[in-house]
């Protein structure tokens, strides 16, 4: 009976995919496309969200204010909302460990992953907003949480021959306000199966989404030099709408102490279809070890990052290459006292290199390499054998991601993604102490993405 149900599920997904492939070129555009009257490919490389074109980057920096407001002078009323969704199947190389326990649940079974509603619009000539609320299948149940939230107020100034775009920004995740696909919130892979595994650690700068709220200011000079300073605090009180659906009382979130500084600067140069950027970013974060009890000592993290992007946008061929490196210094002033970490200080290093090629706004191929490494810590990364012997205490994880996308219409995308691991938790072999290898965590993911 179970096998028959599995066949029916796969047959149903096959019919769905075939139906999507036969859809005509629809134009049910998300809210920003309706606002500007442009197709998705004007802002996104090959129509592939969230990769931004030069125009898409400037649209975001200028506060989402290009195009028409919700109600314009002609008396038209525009719906400032959109809907996203994803469904797919994930296969793991080895879904169960040697004890028969599931590492990847629902192996090869079609799943609906999430449905996201977004409100995104120009409010005035100087104010714009982008807000997402997503309902995701967290296995086994569905849960609603805030996605990206970003509000901007902007103004243009001219000092002599210099153009200055000045803005005030409030958002709910460090780097979500950024316009480059080299920073944690927007780097490749842009989407992954929620059933795929990742490494045991990553820098704090990429782990505050939906848990923080900010206020900051930025300036873009002559569309080349950018500088920003922001301050993040826990998203409670006034910022609670930026963390709706997140429970800090369960103890699994990052609860920031006070206001924590974030900085960003870059230089970019564009010439014809070519553009190049080199930049730096960083953050100093103070985090309580237990979000359900935000008091007493806290841990300190200082992240320093460097990133770069090259982009070529021809009429038919489009190429983007990204690279980033983030170094994190860790002071476990609170966690060390309670035994959550075995060392009082540590470090973490994260390298991400990726590139993409888009053809005719229809096909896109992406490839990426990732590496995370840091000091050994038996309190955080230890894996022991069944006999109780220490197998590893290293966070080192390396691997790659390959993805092929097919844009059926500008509203529907089909994707095939393969994620492979060379090392996991410091090891190539016996990564769980029970004979499981790093490559056993490899996954193949087939998905359907829609936006209306």
Residue 383 and residue 356 in contact, taking contact as beta carbons nearer than 8 Å = no
Dist. CA 149–CA 245, nearest whole Å: 14
pLDDT (tens digit, 9 = 90+) per residue, 229-279?
Answer: 999 999 999 999 999 999 998 888 999 999 999 999 999 999 999 999 999
The pLDDT value given to residue 29:
40
- Output the average pLDDT for the chain: 88
Q: Is 279 left (phi over 0), alpha (psi -120 to 50) or beta?
A: beta
Helices (H) and strands (E) in the chain, counts: 4, 19
The pLDDT value given to residue 194:
84
DSSP summary character for residue 71: B
pLDDT at 222 over 80: yes
Residue 374 is encoded by which pair of tokens?
């840091």
What confidence tier does 40 reach under pLDDT thresholds 50, 70, 90? confident
Dist. CA 361–CA 369, nearest whole Å: 24
pLDDT (tens digit, 9 = 90+) per residue, 53-102?
Answer: 999 999 999 999 988 777 766 666 677 888 889 999 999 888 765 555 56
How long, in residues, is the chain? 452
DSSP summary character for residue 410: T
pLDDT at 352 over 50: yes
The pLDDT value given to residue 384:
86
**Which residue matches tokens 């205490």?**
393
Pairing of strands 390-392, 397-409: unpaired
Domains in the chain, please, with CATH?
2-451 (2.40.160.10)
Dist. CA 122–CA 173, nearest whole Å: 21
Residue 128 is encoded by which pair of tokens?
């714009």
pLDDT at 227 over 90: yes
Q: DSSP for 302-371, please give it.
A: EEEEEEEEEEEE-SSEEEEEEEEEEEEEEE-TTTTTTTS-SSSEEEEEEEEEEEEEEETTTEEEEEEEEE
Between the alpha carbon of residue 17 and those of residues 4, 85, 358, 416, the distances in Å are: 20, 14, 21, 12
Output Rg (C-alpha) for the chain, integer angstroms.
22
What confidence tier does 24 reach under pLDDT thresholds 50, 70, 90? very low
DSSP summary character for residue 393: -
Q: Residues 201, 207, 212, CA angle at the centre, nearest 5°?
A: 155
Dist. CA 133–CA 149, nearest whole Å: 9
Closest C-alpha among 416, 417, 372, 361 to residue 394: 372
pLDDT at 414 over 60: yes
pLDDT (tens digit, 9 = 90+) per residue, 370-405?
Answer: 999 999 999 999 988 888 889 899 999 999 999 999
What confidence tier does 4 reach under pLDDT thresholds 50, 70, 90? very low
pLDDT (tens digit, 9 = 90+) per residue, 117-146?
Answer: 988 888 999 999 999 999 987 656 788 999
The pLDDT value given to residue 101:
59
Least confident of 38-52, 158-172, 406-420: 38-52
pLDDT (tens digit, 9 = 90+) per residue, 162-187?
Answer: 999 999 999 999 999 999 999 999 99
Per-state percent for the chain, helix, strand, coil, to nearest 5: 15, 50, 40
The pLDDT value given to residue 44:
85
Residue 71 and residue 64 in contact, taking contact as beta carbons nearer than 8 Å = no
Instruction: Evaluate if pTM is beyond 0.75.
Output: yes
What confidence tier does 7 reach under pLDDT thresholds 50, 70, 90? very low
Closest C-alpha among 423, 368, 381 to residue 51: 368
Burial class (CB in 10 A: 0-12, 13-18, 19+), 63: buried
């Amino acid at each position: 009976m179970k096998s028959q149900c599995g066949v029916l599920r796969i047959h149903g997904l096959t019919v769905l995919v075939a139906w999507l492939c036969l859809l005509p070129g629809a134009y049910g555009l998300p809210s920003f496309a309706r606002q500007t009257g442009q197709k998705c490919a004007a802002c996104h490389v090959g129509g592939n969200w969230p990769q931004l074109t030069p125009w898409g980057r400037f649209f975001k920096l200028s506060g989402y204010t290009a195009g028409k407001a919700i109600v314009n002078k002609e008396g038209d009323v525009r719906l400032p909302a959109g809907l996203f969704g994803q469904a797919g199947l994930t296969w793991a190389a080895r879904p169960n460990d040697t004890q028969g326990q599931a590492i990847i649940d629902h192996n090869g079974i079609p799943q609906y992953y999430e449905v996201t509603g977004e409100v995104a619009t120009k409010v005035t000539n100087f104010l714009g907003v982008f807000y997402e609320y997503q309902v995701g299948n967290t296995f086994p149940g569905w849960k609603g949480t805030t996605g990206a939230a970003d509000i901007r107020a902007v103004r243009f100034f001219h000092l002599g021959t210099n153009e200055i775009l000045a803005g005030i920004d409030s958002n709910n995740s460090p780097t979500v306000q950024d316009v480059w696909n080299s920073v944690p919130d927007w780097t490749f892979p842009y989407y992954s199966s929620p059933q795929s595994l990742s490494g045991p650690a990553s820098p704090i700068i990429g782990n505050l989404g939906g848990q923080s709220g900010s206020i900051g200011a930025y300036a873009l000079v002559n569309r080349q030099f950018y500088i920003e300073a922001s301050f993040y605090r826990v998203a409670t009180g006034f910022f609670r709408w930026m963390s709706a659906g997140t429970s800090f009382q369960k103890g699994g979130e990052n609860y920031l102490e006070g206001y924590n500084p974030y900085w960003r600067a870059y230089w970019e140069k564009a010439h014809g279809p070519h553009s190049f950027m080199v930049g730096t970013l960083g953050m100093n974060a103070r985090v309580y070890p237990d979000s359900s009890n935000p008091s007493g000592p806290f841990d300190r993290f200082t992240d320093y990052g460097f990133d770069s992007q090259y982009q070529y946008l021809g009429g038919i061929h489009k190429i983007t290459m990204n690279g980033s490196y983030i170094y994190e210094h860790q002071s476990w002033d609170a966690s060390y006292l309670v035994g959550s970490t075995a060392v009082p200080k540590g470090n973490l290093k994260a390298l991400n290199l990726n590139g993409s090629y888009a053809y005719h706004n229809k096909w896109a191929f992406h490839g990426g390499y990732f590496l995370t490494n840091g000091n050994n810590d038996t309190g955080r990364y230890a894996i022991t054998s069944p006999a109780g012997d220490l197998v590893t205490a290293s966070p080192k994880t390396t691997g790659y991601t390959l993805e092929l996308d097919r844009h059926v219409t500008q509203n529907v995308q089909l994707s095939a993604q393969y994620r492979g691991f060379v090392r996991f938790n410091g090891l190539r072999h016996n990564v769980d102490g029970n004979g499981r290898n790093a490559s056993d965590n490899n996954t193949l993911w087939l998905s359907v993405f829609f936006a209306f």
